[in-house]
Amino acid sequence: MKLMLHVDPGIVRQPLIASVILETSALVNIERASIDAVSGEIVIEVAPEKCILVKDAFERRGVKVVQLEIPVIMDDEECIHCGACVSICPTGAFRFENWKVIADSGKCIQCGACVTGCPQRALKLVLK
């Protein structure tokens, strides 16, 4: 399962991921991170059976956590299946199947490259 972590200024300098790994014994894969001196946004992947445990551990530390079940939405009426998203996506979340673009939301890390690159504006990130 993928989780998006929103880290506020007061805790951005703390070893949050390391302490959650030690507490939960969960393997955590960092898929995307944008962190500066005052805030951070991190997308991680954890095993489904550890998801609730990891989410709760981060929330106890003051991190806002969003579970990314469907990270990107494709508007089927706007999509012309040009493949721009297929070529630009760094994780291969899009592919052609029977001449149509199909999204594999399990691979999405919410980087926004597909949204920016879509000439039809047929893609949106799910932000909670």
Which structure tokens are listed for 28?
């955590």
pTM of the model: 0.75
Per residue, what are the HEC states of 19-85? HHHHHHCCCEEEEEEEECCCCEEEEEEECHHHHHHHHHHHHHCCCEEEECCCCEEECCCCCCCCCHH
Is residue 63 within 8 Å of residue 6, measured between CB atoms? yes
pLDDT digits (tens, 9 = 90+) for 18-68: 999 999 999 999 998 998 888 889 999 999 999 999 999 999 999 999 988
Q: Which fold has domain 2-67?
A: Alpha-Beta Plaits (3.30.70)
- Please state which of the four CATH numbers 3.40.50.280, 2.115.10.20, 3.40.980.10, 3.30.70.20 is assigned to the domain occupying 72-125: 3.30.70.20
**Confidence category of residue 127, pLDDT binned at 50, 70, 90:** low
